[in-house]
Amino acid sequence: MTANFYAAVADSIDAGPDRIFLETDDDRTYTRADLARESARFARMMIETGAVRGDRIAVQVDKSPACLFLYLGCLRAGLVYLPLNTAYQRSELTYFLDDAQPRIVVCKPGSFDLMRELCAGHAQVLTLDEEGRGSLADAAAVLPDEFETVDSGPDDIAVILYTSGTTGRSKGAMVTHRNLLSNARALVDCWGFSERDVLLHALPVFHIHGLFVANHCALLSGARLLWHRKFDPALVVRDLARATVMMGVPTFYTRLLAQPKFDREICRNMRLFISGSAPLLLETFKEFQTRSGQTILERYGMSEAGMICSNPLGGERRGGSVGFPLPGVTVRIADEKDRPLPRGEVGGIQVKGENVFAGYWHMPEKTREEFTADGYFRTGDVGTFDTDGYVSIVGRAKDLIISGGYNVYPKEIELALDALPGVAESAVIGIPHPDFGEAVAAVVVARKAARLDPAALIAELKKNFANYKVPKRIYLVEGLPRNAMGKVQKALLRERYSK
Residue 158, domain CATH: 3.40.50.12780
For the chain, what is the mean pLDDT? Answer: 94
Coil/strand/helix, residue 408: strand
Residue 319 forms part of a structural domain:
no
Report the alpha-carbon distance of residue 53 to residue 74 in Å, rounded: 10
DSSP string, 158-224: EEEEE---SSSS--EEEEEHHHHHHHHHHHHHHTT--TT-EEEE-S-SSSHIIIIIIHHHHHHHTPE
Surface-to-core class of residue 389, CB atoms within 10 Å of its CB (0-12 exposed, 13-18 middle, 19+ buried): exposed
Residue 166 forms part of a structural domain:
yes
pLDDT computed for residue 167 by the predictor = 42
> Which letter, b or e, does each residue of 267-301 get, where b requires 16 or more Cβ atoms within 10 Å of its Cβ?
beebebbbbbbbbbbebbbeebeebbebbbbbbbb
Tens-place pLDDT, residues 151-196: 999 999 999 999 854 445 789 999 999 999 999 999 999 999 999 9
The count of other CB atoms within 10 Å of the CB of residue 53 is 13
Tens-place pLDDT, residues 369-406: 999 999 999 999 999 999 999 999 988 777 888 787 67
Of 189, 222, 248, the residue that ends a domain is 189
pLDDT computed for residue 168 by the predictor = 53
Of 189, 212, 237, the residue that ends a domain is 189
pLDDT computed for residue 166 by the predictor = 40
Phi/psi for 485 (5° steps) reads -100, 10
Residue 71 forms part of a structural domain:
yes
Domain that holds residue 83: 5-189
Q: What kind and span of H or E run contains 275?
A: strand 272-275
Of 139, 174, 189, the residue that ends a domain is 189
Using alpha carbons only, how large is the chain's radius of gyration in Å? 23
Residue 384 forms part of a structural domain:
no
The count of other CB atoms within 10 Å of the CB of residue 128 is 26
Coil/strand/helix, residue 396: strand
Report the alpha-carbon distance of residue 349 to residue 385 in Å, rounded: 10
Residue 27 forms part of a structural domain:
yes
Which residue positions in the chain have pLDDT lower than 70?
A: 164-168, 405, 435, 484
Report the alpha-carbon distance of residue 224 to residue 239 in Å, rounded: 13
pLDDT computed for residue 164 by the predictor = 59
pLDDT computed for residue 407 by the predictor = 75
- Give the CATH number for residue 466: 3.30.300.30
